[in-house]
Amino acid sequence: MLRMFVVHGRVQGVGFRWFVKTEAARLGLSGWTRNTQSGTVEVLAEGEIKALDDLERSLQQGPSASRVSAVQVTQAPPADGPLPHPFRVL
C-alpha cells in the first residue's frame, strides 16, 4: 500500500526528515520525505498497512524539537516506478 503524509507545525529545521528516514527504515518502508515551500514536510511511503499505521503514529509525535499540529493522510495513486529503498531524504 502507498500513502502520502503531509505534516504541519514546526517541522522544518528540527531534524524531522532524518527522524522520518530512521523510522521508515526501522519499519521496512520504501519511499521519500522532503520539505515543502509552505513549511510542511511531505512523506511518500510504501509498505505493509501496519507499518504505515506505525509511521503515522510516529509522525504525529515527531522528534523532540518538533511541534506537530496535524498530519494529513491520503492514499497516493500508484507510483510510476519503484520507490527508493532504502528510504530517502530529498
Choice among 10, 34, 35, 88 that is catalytic? 35
| Catalytic site includes residue 34 | no
> How remote is the C-alpha of 41 from its chain's centroid?
8
Choice among 10, 17, 57, 67 that is catalytic? 17
| Catalytic site includes residue 67 | no
DSSP classification of residue 32: E
Bridge partners (DSSP) listed for residue 43: 5, 33
CA-to-CA dists, residue 12 to 58, 59, 86, angstroms: 16, 13, 22
Contact 27, 51 (CB under 8 A): yes
- For the annotated catalytic residues, the residue numbers are 17, 35
